[in-house]
Structure 1
Amino acid sequence: MTLFYLKLLVTPLLMWAISLASRRWGGLLGGLLSGLPITSALVMTFLCLEQGTAFALGAVPGALGGLAAVQATYTFYLFATRKLGIAAAVSLAILFYGLAAYAFTHWGGLYLSVGVALLLIGVLIRASGREPRPDTLARPRHRYWEIPLRMVSATALLMLTTSLASWLGPATSGMLAPIPVIAWPLVVFAHVQGGRAGMAAMVRGNAIGAVGVIAFYLAMAGLLEHTGVAITMLVAMATAVGLTVALAALLKGRA
């Protein structure tokens, strides 16, 4: 029961904090924060505590396949919105995610998923860099229901994924862990409010953060059996954050 209330408390608070940071400091930072393995770390932690470490380790290949599918979906959305409206692009992107996640999880492997994810991250960083820059002086209109809706959606997905884990099995549970439940609403809302420039900044930040997500899962796979859940998650998160910050600083310097 304690874990149940912890899920209800931590997830919406994280979504609220990231949403406020995005409003205050812009889409790139919002994308970076939402791209970090926050939802993934929560899902994997609860899988460890509720299903055991062996189950969580079995979910890692599926999680990396899901991450590759996430990057494929953002790539699809970035290019599709050049021709399609937002509603049509979102609908097709969600369908595309389901197909891509199934393909990577069932027919790919860990190394293929990592390789494809890194390739797509490079494509996203390059393509988003060619989009118009956001107008830092513009003040997009924010609606009162946006952040509560994001908080509810993030919490609902976490609860659903962890509650059905024993029935779904480790592969499918892992595939669902990196679903961009925090990042995806931010990307769509940024597109609606700030146009392509705001959306591209959010996607760019998320792609940079995805490098840290890969590091998180690889560190988790290497440490979990030997160091326990708490230390593994702390080290994996620290690795992800450090790598993300370093990459963001490197790309900013080159820009």
Structure 2
Amino acid sequence: MSLDLSFILILVLRMGIAAAFVVSASMIAERSGPVIGALVATLPISAGPTYVFLALDHDAGFIAEGALTSLPINAATIFLSLIYAVLAQRRTVLISTACAVAVWLALAALIRSVQWSLAAGLIANAITFAICLPLLARYRHAKMPLITRRWYDVPLRASLVAALVAIVTSVSGWAGPAISGMLALFPIVFTSMMLILQPRIGGPATAAVIANGAWGLIGFGIAVAVLHLGVLHLGAQEGLSLALATCVGWNLGLWWVGRRKKAAK
């Protein structure tokens, strides 16, 4: 088998695996309401497979450095959530999503121009969440109507995440860890849910899913910091495992707290 054919087959396999993760998780999110849906959406179902594939191609230093850029990118995602939640109350899906993504891209370009340390990334996340969490609170509650699935839902979601994996895997060799870390955290799950859910259940209900994801993004940011430290000191496999455990543990904790509050009412 030629080298080019082998690369193409491996790339297609990676795209398929990552797409299956994202499609399955987003379907669970649609059926479970805004709170549970948000917890599922903020699991590393897109960034996780992307980082695993990067770890197969690069050493631990590459992954650790990429995580340093991913950390402030997580802060950009919360701004994307805020812009979308505000606009989706009255605007169309295309306007709301396009403006939110445009803000994310502008912030990503700004982040790319800075040399980030772990402390700086954590501070950026802390300041961002302190600003955005109170502003998102008013959009967290909305009635979730019954969802009717359309024929293009699964192909659209699968295509979006597969394209992300293909881009990150293909360009990581020459783009370097910083750009790879940025691309790995492109909010593919959030944007696919915006594009698919809003035409069916309306802007306020879709915004509720996105707004509820803010608390999950805090745990995601912590997981990225754990990834950096774990990969740097223990190795890629250990770092990735610790990051996944951190993210899952945080979201399970949020779910447990939510259940306790609901039971106390």
What TM-score do the two structures reach when normalised by structure 2?
A: 0.84
Q: Deviations over 1:89-129 (max 9, x none)?
A: 22222221111011123236343433333444455544443
Q: 2:21 corresponds to which residue?
A: 14
Kindly report which structure 2 residues correspond to 1:45-84, keeping only aligned pairs within 5 A, or say none.
Answer: 45-82=52-89, 84=91
Quote the residue 2:142 is aligned against: 134
Q: Is the 8 A contact 2:82 2:136 kept in 1?
A: no
1:146 aligns with 153
Partner of 1:86: 93
Task: Output the TM-score relative to the length of structure 1.
Answer: 0.87
Question: Residue 37 of structure 1 contacts residue 213 of structure 1 at CA under 8 Å; is this kept in 2?
Answer: yes
Partners of 2:203 and 2:241 lie apart in 1 by 35
Asked if 1 retains the 8 angstrom alpha-carbon contact of 2:219 and 2:247, the reply is: yes
Structure-2 change in CA distance of 1:191 and 1:112 (3 Å): farther
Aligned to 1:228: 235
CA distance in 1, matches of 2:68, 2:232: 16
Q: Structure 1 residues 184, 42: closer, same or farther in 2, change over 3 A?
A: same
Shift of residue 82 of structure 1? 4.3
CA change 1:202–1:187 in 2 (3 A) is farther
The answer to whether the Cα contact below 8 Å between 2:108 and 2:182 also exists between their aligned partners in 1 is: yes
- Offset at residue 161 of structure 1 (A): 0.9
Work out whether 1:218 is the aligned partner of 2:225: yes
Q: Comparing 1-10 with 86-95, which one deviates more in the overlay? A: 1-10
Counterparts of 1:150 and 1:96, CA distance in 2: 22
- Distance in 2 of aligned mates of 1:202 and 1:12: 21
Shift of residue 230, structure 1, vs aligned partner: 2.3
Name the CA distance, whole Å, in 2 between partners of 1:245 and 1:204.
18
Number of residue pairs the alignment of both structures matches: 254
Aligned counterparts of 1:131 and 1:74: Cα–Cα separation in 2: 11
Alpha-carbon distance in 1 for matches of 2:236, 2:172: 18
Change in Cα spacing, 1:188 to 1:108, as seen in structure 2 (3 Å) is farther
8 Å contact kept, 1:209–1:244? yes
Deviation at 1:253, TM superposition (A): 4.1
Corresponding position of 1:39 = 46
- Tell me, yes or no, if structure 1 residue 249 matches structure 2 residue 230: no
* Residue number in structure 2 paired with 1:116: 124
1:173 corresponds to: 180
For residue 114 of structure 1, what is the amino acid of its counterpart? L
- What secondary structure sits across from 2:46 in the alignment? helix
**Among candidates 18, 24, 32, match of residue 25 of structure 1:** 32
CA RMSD of aligned residues (A): 2.4
Structure 1 match to 2:106: 99
Structure 2 portions without partners, runs of 5+: 1-5
Structure 1 unaligned blocks of 5 or more: none
- Please give the alpha-carbon distance, in whole angstroms, between the structure 1 residues aligned to 2:140 and 2:209: 12
User: Residue by residue, what CA displacement relative to the aligned partner does 1:123-147 show, whole Å, maximum 9, x if unpaired?
Assistant: 55444432373335x3133211112
Show CA shifts across 1:46-67 (max 9, x none).
2221122111111112111221
Distance 2:48 2:100 in 1: 24
Displacement of 1:87:
1.9
| Cα distance in 2, alignment partners of residues 234 and 70 from structure 1 | 23
